Amino acid sequence: MDNNISEQLKDIKPLLEIPDNSYYIYWGLIIFVGFLLLAILFFVAKKLWDNRKENLAKGYLKKLKEIDWKDTKKSAYEATHYARLLATDERRVKLFGQLEPLLEQYKYKKEVETVDDDTRNRFNLFVQVADESI
């Protein structure tokens, strides 16, 4: 009988080695999820940054609309500052280029007169164009 058992055991083959790729699959999945999260974070941050720029432009436009032209010198400085910040596209840059020399005559003198109609009209045109494009 003992002989019979050892004959039966000789038929048992050794264990086969099964290739195990689970380690590589695990790290590949971790890296993929990491890249996916970074991409999502990038696009969310980009969207927030773009909204921030738009909100800044709206704030600048609001400041331009609130300018009180009673103090001509201070108003000319404020108008130049905020208009320069809003001049980001070709049309607004061109209008600002026309408006700036008109505002310069009110900035560097000790005593200045009230704003003339041409300057006021160019300023209002700039504000209107900026309002339409924001």
Residue 58: count of CB within 10 angstroms of its CB: 13
pLDDT classification of 40: cutoffs 50, 70, 90? very high
pLDDT classification of 3: cutoffs 50, 70, 90? low
Q: Give the amino acid at 84.
A: R
Cα–Cα distance for residue pair 14/55, rounded to 1 Å: 72
pTM of the model: 0.65
pLDDT at position 108 is 86
Region 9-22 average pLDDT:
79
pLDDT classification of 9: cutoffs 50, 70, 90? low
114: left (phi over 0), alpha (psi -120 to 50) or beta: beta
Place of tokens 């009180």: 68
